[in-house]
Amino acid sequence: MVIGIMGAMQEEITPLLEHYKNYEAIDFGGNTFYRVLLPKKQLIIARSRVGKVHSALTASVMVLHFGCKMIIFNGVAGGVNPQYRIGDLVLGTQLCQHDVDITIFGHPFGYFSDGQRFYQTNPALRELAKRFAKEILGQSGISLHEGVIATGDQFVSSKERKEWIQKEFKADAIEMEGASVAVVCSDLEIPLCVIRAISDDASDEAVVSYEEFLESSARLSSSLVVKMIENL
């Protein structure tokens, strides 16, 4: 079984590379992919780079070139749901693109022609993550949520924009890559799981808290990914 694991930035995949230690670095398509050989499993780990174009390209390469049969996207996101706290984990149930706008033609925000407004993730992979989340989180006080994740080529630091995304898409978290990966996985019929640790609250102070919590949040979500891999 070949499993793809993605993170947008190096900080989001470094905990995985440190955990597995032995890997082969492969340069392809302007990016570096790390191959990890495990008993009966092969992992392809990659930094997708920030944004929808890069993440869609990376997901496509994982499936079409490396033969990945499922993808887990691991990383951080800004919280939109007021009940989410910094450090909490969110499993994406649906993903949408909050910056798509062809409303002039009578379509809702987030809709592309010949596409979907919302893309579903794989229920079995979500259940696997939920099964081991309690063990990983322990007595940390950190919660695991399931919710809608909105994607756009914007770092949202505006309270007004955050509130609009929440209202328009019923979103719980926002980031810059997940929905484009979901489109690729949907079209190529590849199971997808998106795990995001809340690193900021998408408020006017988002930039400060994002930088502060990026590494610790990424390590937390990576721990859950490692446990999932052990049990796939």
Choosing from 172, 175, 177, 200, the catalytic residue is 200
Spell out the alpha helix ranges (H) of 7-149: 10-20, 52-64, 123-137
Whether residue 130 contacts residue 144, with contact meaning beta carbons closer than 8 Å, is answered with yes
Nearest-CA neighbor of 46 among 192, 189, 36, 188?
Answer: 36
Active site residue 200: yes
Choosing from 12, 88, 172, 175, the catalytic residue is 12
- Contacts of residue 22, Cβ cutoff 8 Å, sequence gap at least 6: 36, 37
- CA–CA distance, 120 with 100 (Å, rounded to integer): 18
The residues assigned a catalytic role are: 12, 200
